[in-house]
């Protein structure tokens, strides 16, 4: 008998105490990319994934969705004070507030350029441990 997978969770208050920084961009297929934000303190919490797709009418990548995941890409559920799941809209508000001061945040409203098929963006020279971790993630995903 297969055991039902239990999703990881994080409390909304705990999540709001974390500081996030842009980590890199995964190109997940033609005209679709995922921008990854990670907690500044390693191992502190979930990643933020922002999915963008090519909007041909404006010739730029545009926001398509946002979610929390663990370091393997499995979903992380945000819970409220009483332990119940926070509704999707409120979770999205909390996630956007976590990254609202990042320079990239406005790009999701107005569109950004595509990184390109098979390419990645890294903040070279800024966080060598994070870069190594992202490269290990790519190797694991592509294996």
Q: For residue 76, give the nearest of 138, 14, 143 by alpha carbon.
A: 14
* pLDDT on residue 143: 67
| pLDDT above 80: residue 132 | no
Per the model's pLDDT, the better-predicted residue between 6 and 33 turns out to be: 33
122 and 131 in contact (C-beta within 8 Å)?
yes
In words, the CATH class of domain 8-142 is alpha beta
pLDDT digits (tens, 9 = 90+) for 6-24: 678 999 999 999 999 888 8
Distance CA 71, CA 44 (A): 11
Strand 8-11 relative to strand 47-55, pairing: unpaired
Q: Please, which residues have CB within 8 angstroms of residue 137's CB and are 6 or more apart in sequence?
A: 71
* pLDDT on residue 112: 66
Paired with 11 in beta bridges are 79
Average pLDDT over residues 38-67: 83
Per the model's pLDDT, the better-predicted residue between 55 and 120 turns out to be: 55
pLDDT digits (tens, 9 = 90+) for 66-89: 999 988 888 999 999 888 899 999
Q: Where are the domains of the chain?
A: 8-142
Cα 72 to chain centroid distance, Å, stands at: 12
pLDDT digits (tens, 9 = 90+) for 85-128: 999 999 999 999 998 888 777 667 666 666 654 444 444 444 56
Eight-state DSSP code of residue 103: G
* pLDDT on residue 98: 92
* pLDDT on residue 3: 47
């Amino acid at each position: 008998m297969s055991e039902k997978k239990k999703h990881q969770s994080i409390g909304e208050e705990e999540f709001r105490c974390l500081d996030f920084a842009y980590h890199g961009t995964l190109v997940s297929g033609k005209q679709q990319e995922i921008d990854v934000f990670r907690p500044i303190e390693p191992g502190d919490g979930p990643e933020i994934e922002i999915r963008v797709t090519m909007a041909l009418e404006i010739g730029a990548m545009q926001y398509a969705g946002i979610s929390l995941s663990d370091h393997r890409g499995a979903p992380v559920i945000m819970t409220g004070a009483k332990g119940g799941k926070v509704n999707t809209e409120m979770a999205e508000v909390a996630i956007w507030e976590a990254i609202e001061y990042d320079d990239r945040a406005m790009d999701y409203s107005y569109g950004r350029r595509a990184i390109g098929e098979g390419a990645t963006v890294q903040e070279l020279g800024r966080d060598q441990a994070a870069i190594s971790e992202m490269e290990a993630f790519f190797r694991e995903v592509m294996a």
